[in-house]
Structure 1
Amino acid sequence: MPKELYFFIAFIAGSGIAVQSGANAQLRLLINNPLITALLSFLVGTFALIALVIATASRELPSWQVLTHIAWWKWLGGIMGAFYICSVVITAPKIGAANTLGFVMAGQLIFAVLFDHFGWLGFQAHAVSPMRLLGVALLLLGIFLVQKY
Structure 2
Amino acid sequence: MHLLLPIVLTFLAGIGVAAQAPTNGMLAKVSGSTLLAALISFGVGTAAIAIAWAANDRTSPAVLRDAPAWAWLGGIYGAIYVATAAYAAPRLGVATMLMIAIAGQMAAAVVIDHFGLFGIRAEPVSLSRIAGLVLVIAGVVLVRR
- Please, what TM-score do these two structures have when normalized by structure 1? 0.91
Query: What is the one-letter code of the residue matched to 2:33?
Result: N
- 5 Å matches for 1:1-149? 2-57=2-57, 59-63=58-62, 66-148=63-145
Instruction: Give 1:88 deviation, angstroms.
Output: 0.8
Query: What is the one-letter code of the residue matched to 1:40?
Result: I
Q: Is the 8 A contact 2:96 2:144 kept in 1?
A: yes
Instruction: Give 1:113 deviation, angstroms.
Output: 0.9
Q: Is the 8 A contact 2:99 2:136 kept in 1?
A: no
User: Runs of 5+ in structure 1 lacking a partner?
Assistant: none
Instruction: Give 1:142 deviation, angstroms.
Output: 1.8
Query: What is the one-letter code of the residue matched to 1:61?
Result: S
User: Runs of 5+ in structure 2 lacking a partner?
Assistant: none
User: Partners in 2 of 1:134 and 1:39 — Cα distance?
Assistant: 37
Identity fraction in percent? 39
User: Partners in 2 of 1:10 and 1:123 — Cα distance?
Assistant: 18
User: How large is the Cα RMSD of the aligned pairs?
Assistant: 1.4
**Cα deviation code 1:2-30 (max 9, x no counterpart):** 11221221111111100001100011111
- Please, what TM-score do these two structures have when normalized by structure 2? 0.93
**Cα deviation code 1:44-74 (max 9, x no counterpart):** 00110111011112x54132xx434322211
Equivalenced residues, count: 145
User: Partners in 2 of 1:147 and 1:123 — Cα distance?
Assistant: 33
